[in-house]
Amino acid sequence: MWEFRSMTFWRAVFAEFFATMIFVFFGLGSSLRWTPGPLNVLQIALAFGLAFATLVQSVGHISGAHLNPAVTFAFLIGSQMSLFRAVFYIAAQLLGAVAGAAILYGVTPPTIRGNMALNTLRPGVSLGQGTTVEIFLTLQYVLCVFATTDERRNGRLGSAALAIGFSITLGHLFGMYYTGAGMNPARSFAPAAITRNFLNHWVYWVGPIIGATIGGLAYDFILFPRMRGLSDRLAILKGTHTPEPEGPQESRGDPIELKTQSL
């Protein structure tokens, strides 16, 4: 496949690994309890949102800055990237998240580490309620990602990075009180793997995947349909479509905007 032989592809895969590692390191680090008392929800929400916005701005032009298996899955079912690329992206995201959590665990004093399990169902929240909350949290996030990175929006205004960061912040401001606001299976998997605590972990995969699927399909097939035939969609999924020329395409005088590298 052309992707396997392309240095652009491997740079994108590394960008997903590297950026997810940084995102998890800063996001989880902001949620550690250094003083007694309840967690500062605003601090955590802003830390996750600002970290993600920074990384979208940093690597969005390289890989699309998915940093989330649910987002990658949404782009896959929307026929916006090949299955081959999606598999490597998800693997890179999971490995990067575990690396970030492991580094954070190593540099944090044992008395502060706790279990690093930010994603736990709050008392009184059932499995069904938690899954439903995760669906809605991820739905609004993926809808924002699809809308702000859509290359067909010639007249869009503002920063895609900030919009996506605000979406992450919004999710945490609400979801922290229910599930800890997963919204990202890699981010939830990392501390669970480090601490070997997978209690109710499936909620943080099933909810985001369903939410991402609904958000992606709603945007691409209902709100702003992509007029592609079945043969074109299959070609993209198989990776047999004609690749874009490698290297940056923007002129020096134009602002660089986030684009998914799969189109």
- Interval 89-102: pLDDT, tens: 999 999 999 999 99
For residue 152, pLDDT over 80 is answered with yes
CA distance 63 to 215: 20
CA distance 80 to 145: 13
Ranking 153-162, 206-215, 246-255 by mean pLDDT, the lowest is 246-255
The pLDDT tens digits of the residues spanning 221-243 come to 999 998 877 888 888 888 776 64
Average pLDDT of 186-204?
93
Surface-to-core class of residue 249, CB atoms within 10 Å of its CB (0-12 exposed, 13-18 middle, 19+ buried) = exposed
pLDDT at 241: 65
Does 254 or 212 have the greater pLDDT score?
Answer: 212
CA distance 88 to 12: 10
pLDDT at 34: 85
The pLDDT tens digits of the residues spanning 139-150 come to 999 999 999 999
Q: What DSSP character marks residue 209?
A: H
- CA torsion angle 168 61 232 185 (round to 10): -30
pLDDT at 253: 41
Q: What DSSP character marks residue 36?
A: S
Ranking 9-23, 31-45, 124-138 by mean pLDDT, the lowest is 31-45
CA distance 14 to 212: 23
Q: Judge contact between 78 and 149, C-beta under 8 A.
A: no
pLDDT at 59: 96
pLDDT at 229: 78
Helix (H, G, I), strand (E, B) or coil at 181: coil
Tally the residues of the chain.
263
Q: What DSSP character marks residue 220?
A: I
For residue 118, pLDDT over 90 is answered with no
Q: Judge contact between 20 and 63, C-beta under 8 A.
A: no
pLDDT at 200: 93
pLDDT at 81: 92
For residue 262, pLDDT over 70 is answered with no
Q: What average pLDDT is seen over the chain?
A: 88
Tokens of 136: 């809605």
Residue type (1 letter), 148:
T
CATH class of 7-238: mainly alpha
CA distance 140 to 74: 13
pTM of the model: 0.87
